[in-house]
């Protein structure tokens, strides 16, 4: 398909210069710039802020948000729909709602109802992409499509499509309910014999490996993975040739370990000499996700007194950053700067590895304190900066002392 045609846009809409000032004003932060200018370590009063050297908006997210704003500028006279969320950040999504974008949300099974969409409408495809069947349905409707699917996601799609073409089942490390994984798994269905199975973590991987080695029967695989395999999946037939891929935002070390574990099982079953014809793998963690994880690991060589991780609670890459930090220091994952209530002295956060959201009052001690900051790839600088400002207000420090006007 062409990158841009009359009804399909993938490389901008010609309004970049028009929306650039608005994006800078909406999502930029003077305090983030100040911390970066101080070599990512800035002392303000009793606080020393340390910031990860790679954090916040990645290229793919930045591009998706920019295209969404360009869409609003170019098609101001049309109804604009968005398939799901543009990214996993409630602040950014609310900004688009405020600009009149209409959100189409899926059912619990991940199905979208496009009956409200008409040919004269505009539909934005989010950074995660959409399932093949949804894309085809939107093309049948004939509406204008603005496709912001991340390039790293497209790389994974090409990989699993090649697996399906060559008769390999895609074993995908990811969350089966996540938009990206649903979109990725659908790509194997371009081929009639395409098959996939989604594993969430090493425990599920070990179950698959036990089957490969002949230690468990096919019924157990069918039962455990009933909602995360392609239709008609038969373990005996479909796990003889395996290609591994992953949701781009998963923890890189875990994805690599899962691939190695499956390779070992395939070697045990068929012999190491047969491995090249039975098993394929490709590291499809996106570079931005890897960079943010590496930046946090680098910080944890000398951990701060506490870490604040900013990003959506449903953001996979943000949750992984919080889990990494929690191994080394007290960690608070907040969804937005408003999670820090300077007046009450509380923080609303989600502990790493849980789905609980807690309000805590004893989270920050008196005296000198080193506070680390990082953020998921869906978090703009504005929210990181506002977080630092609210922390300063907890200690009665005016953010204007570092050249930042109070919010």
Active site residues: 180
* CA gyration radius, the chain: 23
Please tell me the distance from the alpha carbon of residue 359 to that of residue 186, in angstroms, as a whole number.
39
The dihedral built from the CA positions of residue 151, 153, 155 and 158, taken in this order, carries a sign that is negative
Contact 303, 381 (CB under 8 A): no
Q: Please provide the distance, in angstroms rounded to a whole number, between the alpha carbons at the two ends of the chain.
A: 46
- The H or E element spanning position 407 is none
Sheet holding 102-104, edge to edge: 4-5, 8-9, 144-147, 122-125, 80-83, 102-104
The dihedral built from the CA positions of residue 227, 231, 235 and 240, taken in this order, carries a sign that is negative
Cβ atoms within 10 Å of 244's Cβ, excluding its own: 29
Please tell me the distance from the alpha carbon of residue 404 to that of residue 333, in angstroms, as a whole number.
24
Contact 289, 59 (CB under 8 A): no
CA 314 to chain centre: 9
Place of tokens 């399909």: 8
Q: What is the DSSP string of 329-384?
A: SEEEEESSGGGEETTTTEEEE--TT----EEESS-S-SS-EEEEEEE-TT--HHHH
- The two beta strands, 122-125 and 102-104, are unpaired
């Amino acid at each position: 398909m062409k990158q841009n045609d009359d009804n399909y846009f993938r490389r901008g809409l010609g309004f970049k210069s028009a929306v650039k000032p608005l994006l800078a004003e909406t999502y930029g932060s003077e305090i983030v710039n100040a911390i970066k200018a101080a070599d990512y370590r800035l002392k303000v009063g009793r606080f020393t802020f340390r910031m990860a050297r790679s954090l916040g908006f990645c290229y793919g997210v930045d591009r998706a948000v920019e295209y969404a704003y360009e869409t609003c500028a170019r098609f101001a006279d049309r109804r604009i729909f968005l398939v799901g969320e543009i990214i996993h950040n409630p602040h950014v999504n609310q900004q688009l709602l405020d600009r009149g974008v209409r959100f189409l949300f899926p059912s619990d099974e991940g199905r979208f109802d496009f009956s409200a969409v008409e040919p004269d409408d505009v539909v934005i495809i989010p950074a995660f992409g959409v399932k093949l069947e949804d894309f085809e349905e939107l093309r049948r409707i004939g509406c204008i499509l603005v496709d912001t699917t991340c390039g790293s996601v497209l790389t994974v799609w090409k990989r699993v499509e090649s697996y399906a073409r060559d008769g390999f089942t895609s074993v995908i490390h990811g969350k089966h309910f996540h938009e990206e994984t649903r979109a990725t798994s659908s790509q194997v269905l371009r081929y009639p014999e395409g098959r996939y199975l989604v594993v969430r973590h090493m425990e599920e991987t070990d179950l698959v490996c036990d089957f490969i080695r002949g230690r468990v029967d096919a019924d157990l695989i069918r039962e455990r993975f009933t909602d995360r395999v392609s239709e008609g999946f038969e373990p005996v037939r479909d796990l003889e040739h395996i290609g591994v891929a992953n949701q781009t935002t998963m923890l890189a070390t875990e994805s690599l370990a899962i691939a190695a574990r499956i390779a070992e099982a395939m070697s045990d079953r068929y012999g190491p000499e047969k491995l090249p014809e039975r098993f394929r793998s490709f590291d499809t963690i996106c570079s931005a996700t890897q960079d943010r994880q590496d930046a946090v690991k680098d910080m944890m060589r000398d951990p701060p007194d506490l870490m604040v991780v900013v990003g959506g609670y449903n953001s996979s890459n943000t949750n992984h950053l919080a889990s990494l930090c929690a191994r080394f220091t007290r960690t608070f994952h907040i969804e937005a700067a408003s999670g820090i209530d300077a007046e009450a002295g509380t923080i609303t956060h989600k502990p790493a590895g849980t789905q609980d959201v807690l309000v805590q009052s004893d989270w920050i001690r008196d005296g000198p304190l080193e506070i680390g900051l990082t953020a998921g790839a869906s978090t703009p600088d504005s929210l990181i900066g506002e977080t630092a400002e609210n922390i300063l207000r907890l200690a009665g420090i005016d953010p204007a002392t570092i050249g930042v006007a109070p919010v």
